[in-house]
């Protein structure tokens, strides 16, 4: 049984295909830790994966009311990548992964996998 780290951007177009792929991995006996936005917690846990939430809301497509100020999570992640990457590394401290799977739009998969010393597989998304 391999330990798999799944990294996904917080949009339905990224999460749904990679969620299906992660489910297949779990069915085959892999242990999956899945990083995603809080709104995807239930579907991720329902397939049997361990859910980890990003500290920042990275969804730039989220609708905001007129009195609600948009959050700058994605901008912060792009302008301060190490702050974003460090958060992930802290949350998975003590865990050992054999490889990582990520969506094509995930910005820091190469850096994170290099820091962890693991191989990576890009999950191609087809609509």
Q: Considering the chain, what percentage of its residues have pLDDT values greater than 70?
A: 76
Q: pTM of the entire structure?
A: 0.79
CA distances to 25, 82, 97, 120 from 114, rounded to whole Å, are 22, 13, 12, 9
Q: Using the 8-state DSSP alphabet, how is residue 11 labeled?
A: S
Burial 67-99 (b: 16+ CB within 10 A, else e): eeeeeebbebbeeeeeebbebbeeebeeeebee
**CATH fold of 3-61+69-122, please?**
Rossmann fold (3.40.50)
The domain ranges of the chain are 3-61+69-122
pLDDT in tens, 75-110: 555 666 777 788 888 999 999 999 999 887 788 888
């Amino acid at each position: 049984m391999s330990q798999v780290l799944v990294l996904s951007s917080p949009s339905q177009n990224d999460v749904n295909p990679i969620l299906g792929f992660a489910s297949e991995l779990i069915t085959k006996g892999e242990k999956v830790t899945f990083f995603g936005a809080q709104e995807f917690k239930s579907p991720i846990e329902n397939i049997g994966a361990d859910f980890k939430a990003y500290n920042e809301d990275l969804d730039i497509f989220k609708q905001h009311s007129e009195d609600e100020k948009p959050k700058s999570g994605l901008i912060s992640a792009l302008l301060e990548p190490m702050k974003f990457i460090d958060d992930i590394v802290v949350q998975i401290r003590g865990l050992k992964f054999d490889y990582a799977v990520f969506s094509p739009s995930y910005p820091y998969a190469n850096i994170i996998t290099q820091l962890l010393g693991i191989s990576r597989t890009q999950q191609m998304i087809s609509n």
